[in-house]
Chains A and B, each alone.
Chain A
């Protein structure tokens, strides 16, 4: 469970997939950082992640953590986007028995979790089959 303030701070990344590209080496940091993990550069320009990619690997969660039990079983994948960035996210609307490494996926805006019955609703990115 994350707090409202932290969720709010992460809206640019969760909603709009905003990242930062190092002006020295073009490495893309998602979420944005103050120091480039590749060249230690400190100058970045804003960029937006590509909305499509492939499943590089994945696992199927059958015993889910609190708040996600109703969704089990569900897939969590490491997605390599067409711009080279990798990120972890749920892969939904797919047949778990047929989900495979190399499958093409695209991003969709989904509800990620809800803070109990009366708390805020948290939104963000998940991936769905590209076809």
Chain B
């Protein structure tokens, strides 16, 4: 029995800030940041956008492509590290906006940047178990970086949504694999506004170890090699990491570039590799095989192998393509506007 993606959708906010604009405020070397992070600009949410609003827009695109009645979707899982409420689910608002309620199972997931792929795994598993016809998984974030920190150049906003099911598939899931250890490379304590990270420790023992091990384990489990894939998507906390891990694994640049959104999108955290997958689905041909590996600090990776079906060509233009959202009509803002949008300016209590 095939199980996989029946519909997918993406949402990218329209506002952008360039690396130069951030660097000039902190007296930093913009060319060095751009080269080091392989990143030119990032998306910025407006004050009226959050994980819930981004999720609704991405999920509406997914529903349009799936062509299913929302009440047939039996579960909603939103993975994010920026749920607007500390206590109260994001999923209830999104499900209500989509018209999925009331017979729906709902949970908000957290696992740094892999919370989105966690939802995808669980939604796939419920569809495979025939617990429900369809299940919705969303990866979304409006992530924050502390002012002046390296994260401020990359932490951005976006969402990707996937409706998993057993029919109307645009991509069949051929295999999954997860790899996880306790590796404290990035965290945010309760009541803290900004996350902290362990600098270079976020590289070798964290991102590279887990991402590469997950990809290798997935290929070993499925008996595949890099040559068997037309496309590969890796978590992209910056532009450099996914390109380097792809090279280490033997994936040429041409297989990675289509889903490599970070240079102009930034790091959308839980939305990062899921958004990369939507960009690949926008251009993939029937029969193409896609390797996708997420990464979440803490740390772990979820891996998926997708095989694209002929239905992709019927549905991909039923909603805005991911790169079109990224490239068409961006609105560039200065640092002052950015600081206001992101709530970085302390104001007196009203």
Contact = CB atoms under 8 A, between A and B. Distances in A.
Given A70-B340, A109-B57, A111-B49, A123 B93 contact: yes
The 8 closest A-B CB pairs, nearest first, are A109-B56, A15-B97, A110-B48, A111-B48, A93-B14, A109-B53, A110-B53, A15-B96
Given A16-B97, A93-B331, A131-B329, A123 B46 contact: no
A111 B341 CA distance: 13
A71 interface: yes
B27 interface: no
A126 B53 CA distance: 11
A108 B97 contact: no
Interface in A83-108: 92-93, 95, 108
A108 B227 CA distance: 41
A78 interface: no
A112 interface: yes
A123 B94 CA distance: 10
Interface residues of A, number: 22
A11 interface: yes
B331 to A, nearest CB: 7
Contacts of A116: 350
Interface of A: 11, 15-16, 66, 70-71, 92-93, 95, 108-112, 116-117, 121, 123, 126, 128-129, 131
B331 A123 contact: no
A16 B97 CA distance: 6
A129 B349 CA distance: 34
Interface in B312-350: 328-329, 331, 340, 349-350
B327 to A, nearest CB: 13
Given A109-B56, A117-B349, 13 more contacts: A11-B96, A16-B96, A16-B99, A66-B350, A71-B48, A92-B46, A93-B46, A108-B57, A109-B60, A111-B47, A112-B48, A129-B329, A131-B329
Contacts of B52: 111, 121, 123
Nearest to B50: A111
A111 B90 CA distance: 13
Q: Which of A66, A110, A116 has most B Cβ within 10 Å? A: A110
A126 B48 contact: yes
A99 to B, nearest CB: 13
B84 A109 contact: no
A49 to B, nearest CB: 13
B85 A121 contact: yes
Contacts of A110: 48-49, 53
Interface string B32-56: 0000000000000011111011001
Contacts of A93: 14-15, 46, 331
Contact of A123 (B15, B47, B53, B60): B53
Contacts of A131: 328-329
A110 B96 CA distance: 14
6 contacts: A95-B331, A109-B97, A110-B53, A121-B52, A123-B52, A126-B48
A121 B84 contact: yes
Contact of A92 (B48, B56, B96, B340): B48
Nearest to A125: B97
Nearest to A69: B350
A43 to B, nearest CB: 23
Contacts of B14: 93, 128
Nearest to A109: B56
B319 to A, nearest CB: 12
Nearest to B328: A131
A42 B47 CA distance: 41
A117 B193 CA distance: 14
Contacts of A15: 93, 96-97
A70 B99 CA distance: 31
Contacts of B56: 109
Contacts of B15: 93
